A and B are shown apart, each in its own frame.
Chain A
């Protein structure tokens, strides 16, 4: 080598932003297997979210309420429109529908225990209602899904509310999947299918299509349950203005709107990452639909998809939601992705925080599994206690913010309490970019 060679500056190795290591790894995986990647969880890519909003707090023109001392209510009533027995919750944070099958019976029991102790509701999922969750949930919402697995009128009449699932944020337009590994005898029997086969949940309801049919379906469910319980309609975030308006037109008491960060038990990665709207982008159009119909607050809006903290709760409510629902965060509270299982995550080829093969049934934390030995690792009583604590902390956090903004009920939070850190968030949430009085698309602003 000559002296000259030593003097020529060299380029450093540069990784491609387009062909990144994860992308290349996926190309190699696809090339080796011929099958798309299936996983659990929600969108992992960064999208505009509640983190991109800030509360303004009190000032000369608005005075705060005394923390801890002055009352700041958190209760919410869902289903006031048509149901004889609306659901009264102490806190505006509910547990989202997650199926027995996807989750162990212990996990379902823990969710019921935690939610009940916190004064809120939990929700069944694809696969029907188990006695464990009915027994341990003071308020249980029964999902009515396209698959109708385990669907029966006795359970329907035991429910405190019915949630007609049109779609989910993780996979709007997609059905469900429960792979054979997770089909135990009990799961197979509840779903009337042979053990060990992959179970597909249809993406469309078998006996209705479109809003006019939905109206008649809702009538039927009300007639069967004597107009006693509220009927929710859950949609994935895609066309929130129209979906909300159509659900309301069809007679829903409550609209549940799930954004793309929302978790799932199992779906194609390409679906999770590339279909649907971020949660933040869903709320204002849905609220506008309710306002245009003169039914905001009369038909309640429950928002889900990436809710993690009391700040997220407060922001969703400030944008006009009546309540939120949590899925993934509740599982994390129970022990999902806990560092104490790191050795086992390593053996599964992953690491704490990244474990998402919930469909495989090998969950070290014993939550997304039907393996009796793994499932035993989760103590439903302890899990319930942890969930209650977590729900309590989120509520306290939301109250802290509401008081700082001068509100004596979480529902008094409003868009005027917020500003946005980015143009995208400002446009989606329709609140001013921090330090300005402008957001993209603001009426009269010319943009």
Chain B
């Protein structure tokens, strides 16, 4: 285990060190001390390393992550794990807006609540939120899965493409072209796997599934506002 203390190390040094790690290196576990809300922490990583952040972070923590596991022992600012490609990011606390935005792959777990626009424009990432999510979540979400153990805010899944949304609690309102869909056995299997991987103790049967009605897929004047 190596420690990097942001009280006496610059952000550039921290990221450069983590970005320089290669797959075969012995040194795979890193601890970041005193993050104090710094932005762009542990971004652009591309090796199967484990990074634990001891505290809260600012914007874009673990942005564009590939392969690494980033564990935040605190809350995160906007855009955590934005455009993640692979690996996983686990947040013990809450997440601000745009969690997992445009993510292409990997797993993002938020143990607290996530704010508005969670999973916006997601393109293949899996996101599991143990608490609630805010309004306009999964806006224009293209692919991947968003699992919400609590409630969802207004306009869930507005202009949704092919992403699948699972919500256990209430949904304040559905966005344009988002509808409730039948939960078939394959969805229960998928959900069960996601909950297991996220370490969440919940029954897949308690969730409801939402997806795209696919009515906005080709421009139709009757759908325009």
Q: Point out residues on A near B: beta carbons under 8 Å.
A: 34-35, 147-148, 151-153, 156-157, 179-180, 191-194, 197-198, 200, 202, 206-208, 213, 216-217, 219-220, 223-227
Contacts and interface: CB of A to CB of B under 8 A. Distances in A.
B123 A198 contact: no
Given A217-B59, A224-B64, 11 more contacts: A148-B83, A151-B102, A153-B66, A197-B218, A206-B102, A207-B101, A208-B79, A216-B59, A219-B40, A220-B60, A226-B16
A193 B160 CA distance: 11
B47 to A, nearest CB: 13
Cβ-closest 8 pairs across A and B: A224-B44, A197-B217, A207-B79, A148-B102, A153-B64, A207-B98, A220-B40, A207-B101
Interface in B59-92: 59-60, 63-64, 66, 78-79, 82-83, 85
Contacts of B78: 207-208, 213
Contacts of A157: 44
Interface of B is mostly: loop
Contact of B102 (A194, A198, A207, A227): A207
Contacts of B83: 148, 151-153
By CB atoms of chain B within 10 A, which of A223, A224, A226 has the most? Answer: A223
By CB atoms of chain A within 10 A, which of B104, B124, B218, B219 has the most? Answer: B219
A152 B82 CA distance: 11
What size tier do the contact residues of chain B reach? 35 or more
Interface of A is mostly: loop
Contacts, number: 99
A153 B44 contact: yes
B219 A193 contact: no
A200 B140 CA distance: 9
A223 B104 contact: no
Contact of B140 (A34, A180, A202, A225): A202
29 contacts: A34-B221, A35-B219, A147-B121, A148-B102, A148-B123, A151-B83, A153-B64, A153-B83, A179-B219, A180-B218, A191-B142, A192-B124, A194-B162, A194-B217, A200-B140, A202-B121, A206-B120, A206-B121, A207-B98, A208-B78, A208-B79, A216-B39, A216-B60, A220-B39, A223-B12, A223-B40, A223-B43, A224-B43, A226-B19
A243 B10 CA distance: 30
A197 B219 CA distance: 9
A213 B59 contact: yes
Contacts of B63: 220, 224
Nearest to B64: A153
A179 B219 CA distance: 8
Contacts of A224: 15, 43-44, 63-64
A111 to B, nearest CB: 26
B144 to A, nearest CB: 9
Given A152-B83, A206-B102, A224-B44, A194 B39 contact: no
A193 B12 CA distance: 36
Interface in B189-225: 217-219, 221
